[in-house]
Amino acid sequence: CRDTADWHTLLLYQEAASASQQYQQGSQLASDGFEIGDTLVSLGLLNAMRPTSLGDSGSKPSSLDGALAYNSQAAYGASWRLAKWDVPAVPLAQSTTGLGSRMLLSPVDRPEEALYSLLRLRSNGQLAEAASSAQEFMASASAVAAITEPASSLQEAWSYRAVGMLQPLFSARTCQAQSLHEFLHTSQIVSALLARNRGTMPAEAAEPIYQVNLTLHEIAVSEASARGSTGREGDSIFSRYKEAVRLACVTARQAHNWQSSMNHIFRLRATAKSVGYLNNTLEPELRLWEAETLWEAGNRALAIEILQSHKREMEHTLQQARMDLSSGSLDGAAMIVSPVATQQTPAATQNWSRNELEAATILMSRIILTVGEWSDQQRRERPAVLWAEYFNKSAILLQEINSPTAWTGRALHALAAFAERQCVELTSTRDDDSTTAVRKQKARELAACQQEIARTSSTTEAQRLRGILRRLEIQVSNDQKELAELRSSIGGFLRMAIWSFVKCLGCTDAFDNCVYSLVSLIMTNARAQELQRALTSGAMDDVPSRKFLLLVHQLCARLSTEEDAFHQTITQLVTRMAVEYPYHTMYHLFALRNANRALSSSASSKISRKGSLSALQVQESEKMEERRSEAATAILTSVSSQSPDLCSIAQAINELCTSYIDLAVCPVPDKFKNSKAGDSLVPFSSRARISKLIKDLPPNIPVLTATPRADAPCDYMCVPFVSSIAAGYSLAGGINLPKILRIVGTDGKRYKQLVKGKDDLRQDAIIQQLFHVINRFMRSSGAGSAGSACLASSAPSSLRLRTYQVVPLTKRCGVLQWVDNTMPFGTWFQSREKRYRPNAPTMSQLRATIHDVHKDKEVTAQQKLEVFERVCHLAPPVFRFFFYEQFYNAQGWFEHRETYIRSAAVSSMAGWVLGIGDRHLQNILVDRATAEL
């Protein structure tokens, strides 16, 4: 079975013979089962078929010849899929005097035959005829589809759409350098188009499109081979063809069409062999694709065995190639000789070059790592064996590569994920309560036995106790050795996980989400000795600081003046973030420095805190806060001294934060306290610090609630600065009377900010940070395109949580972004309940009914449920009228209703997972423009 083509032909022949015998005995052909025409086409018996339309025979055939006629469309489909062009076909178009050309084949009734004719023209080099016929094909198909019933099958409907998507390739020449460039550019555009439509295309619709694309690329490869193209020309065309096959295989596997994926691989291998491109790296890569298909199809043991066998072969081959290269028998500087010119397979001659050896090394690393991951999922080997034989070997091979590749980041991420998982599992085993209790019990028994031996005076009893003592000593010694080995393993996996995460984040942006795992490992093992050895000076320098910006809250919270490796690493990282991204980082540092500035108005909270903690805990907490504040001050001083620009930025942010703190704690004049929220403008006091800021406004004061993008380090072009500040503030209502401040930015936008005092906003900031993280994970996982193609295309936005900026300035004050054009749910219901439920009880009456039942201790749970259901019956849903009022056309109504559904679903899930309480109707806002929550 090494010769795949012969094995496949033999299998098809056996299936054809079996099907013919069954048919002659009177069995009928199933519409979705095995078809004789397809088999005979695959065997090359093409001249025996007659081009007869599907509509010509209205009943089942009664002979083999009739079966072939009945299945003519399948035969033509198999012919162009196999690139067999010896089937007789009706001309696609016929010239007529004065009328141009007219279609002789209907692309709707006979799509496979029409596609065959088109591709046959392209294969024969009739480019002008192919291009014009493709245009005529699309015009006729569109006209027929517009005036007739829909296509009988989705596959037929997309068969002529395939021609529309791939039409540029029909007329793309490959015989000249300029035409070759045009073909490669067109192929790249087509591949991007197919990749973009892959998620929305049904599986049966995608199949003909990918097949046509592969056939066109195979024709181009054959033309380049026949012309004798060498060097980059032939390599570029074959690379495009290989990428088209890879995309088709991925799409087929996603649709669970395993046989189609294997067929694509067989075609690529056969084409590569015919033109001499089946070299040292292609064959192993095809084996890897085959194993991946088998793995996803459920044949996991076979997939692992295939890669294991090929892994051993490649290890021996690469070892011999390295020996030859080191001995000078190979020309390391020479490029790979184009196999098209020699028509010899490099695998047969074992002609290695240094570039080819490097590519083979990368592929070997992929194979080893894939086997390791699969074996780990199947629990085939112990973690130590998996690490030594697969993951560590893959890392060693990657270190031999001079420059990182696209696979390097993927391999490092897999390596880090495995090490992290082992570290977490081993730590859980070490800290298991039952295991720890058994160890302690044995230690107590050993100590008790030693004391008993010291007290006893009987020789016989002492001898018996010494025997017990020896057994206990052996057990305790074994436990200590096992614990030491466990700690050593945890330390090794911890160091490897941190190293792999750092290298992965440093070489690629494809796995930026693993920064959370990295920081979690460091925070969890802050006091571990293994971490102290792993975090050497500059350990995080390889990672761009922008990747830690979403975790600036957590990093700044761990600042301290302690001089251990953990705190020094955190200090160095936060300092680098403040230098490169000051408008993202300095607010948090100033908040730590000013943490106790506004506490004079919050003595009650301080007393309550002391009441809930012991005096020793309060004292230790205050010391930690002092060390954190000192560390933040030291970082600000260090950053300000590095350049005049950073010093100016630090001064501007300091002035802004100080002004906001003074405004937050400033009492509201008595004459404005009873005014309605938002009605009157309260002027600033002339002695207020913000009044001085307004009079002499520096040009680099940033808008506090407008977080700029994290582009290149020290790039402030996208930072909006304050252009003007209103001469006063309005009140938002509530117990603490938060203040609404209005600002105009240099970007022309108007900003409203809510300045709150006597309120700790740090928890709100953490919740918004978690929402940002959830949005990031949903974007990276493709959750935004979940659901049907119709919903995905009609929804104005993807799945996301609506967020706003929260900037804590001290422990007891901060600034929030004001969300415009929103209203509370409760406000809308109260204003509409009389209009849409005129005869129903009011919301206040229904709430009172539920509250009375809830207070009654004699009411059972079943009675409470009955009251709740009765209240729900008396208050039918009315929020659908919100969409009628806000969105007048059908498209807007549908799109915004879908947006509301998505927003409500994500908000509910996130709120439940994070345990967010206090979700009442007045505390949930709905956007009147987008219907988001």
- Rounded to whole angstroms, the Cα distance separating 187 from 189 reads 5
Contacts of 415 (CB under 8 A, 6+ apart): 369, 391, 394, 395, 496, 500
Q: Kindly tell me the burial class for residue 644, based on how many C-beta atoms sit within 10 Å of its own C-beta (0-12, 13-18, 19 or more).
A: exposed
pLDDT tens digits, one per residue of 509-536? 888 889 999 999 999 888 877 777 777 7
Model pLDDT, residue 86: 73
First-to-last CA distance in the chain? 61
pLDDT tens digits, one per residue of 607-657? 444 455 677 777 888 888 889 999 999 999 999 999 999 999 999 999 999
Asked whether the predicted pLDDT for residue 595 surpasses 90, the reply is no
Average model confidence (pLDDT) for the chain?
Answer: 76
Asked whether the predicted pLDDT for residue 340 surpasses 50, the reply is no
- 75 pLDDT tier (thresholds 50, 70, 90): confident
Model pLDDT, residue 326: 65
- Rounded to whole angstroms, the Cα distance separating 223 from 217 reads 10
Question: What is the pLDDT averaged over residues 266-294?
Answer: 86
Counting DSSP H helices and E strands in the chain, the numbers are: 38, 11
The CB density around residue 857, as the number of other CB atoms within 10 Å, is 5
Cα 293 to chain centroid, rounded: 22
Q: What is the dihedral of CA 449, 455, 461, 463, to 10 degrees?
A: 70
Asked whether the predicted pLDDT for residue 251 surpasses 70, the reply is yes
Helix (H) / strand (E) element for 263: namely helix 258-275
**CA dihedral (646, 649, 655, 661) positive or negative:** negative
The single-letter code of the amino acid at 664 is A
Asked whether the predicted pLDDT for residue 589 surpasses 90, the reply is yes
Model pLDDT, residue 579: 93
pLDDT tens digits, one per residue of 551-567? 999 999 999 998 888 88
Asked whether the predicted pLDDT for residue 290 surpasses 80, the reply is yes
Contacts of 346 (CB under 8 A, 6+ apart): 279, 280, 336, 337, 339, 352, 356
Q: Kindly tell me the burial class for residue 179, based on how many C-beta atoms sit within 10 Å of its own C-beta (0-12, 13-18, 19 or more).
A: middle
Contacts of 649 (CB under 8 A, 6+ apart): 582, 583, 586, 700
Among 174-188, 690-704, 763-777, 788-802, which is the least confidently predicted range? 788-802
Question: What is the pLDDT averaged over residues 184-204?
Answer: 65
Nearest of 413, 394, 416, 405 to residue 314 by alpha carbon? 394
Among 200-204, 214-218, 672-676, 871-875, which is the least confidently predicted range? 200-204
Nearest of 569, 398, 425, 399 to residue 498 by alpha carbon? 569
Q: Distances in Å between the alpha carbon of 929 and those of 313, 347, 448, 882, 926?
A: 63, 64, 75, 11, 9
Answer for the pair 680, 713: CB distance below 8 angstroms, yes or no: no
Model pLDDT, residue 144: 45
pLDDT tens digits, one per residue of 839-861? 888 888 888 888 888 888 888 88
Question: What is the pLDDT averaged over residues 411-422?
Answer: 90
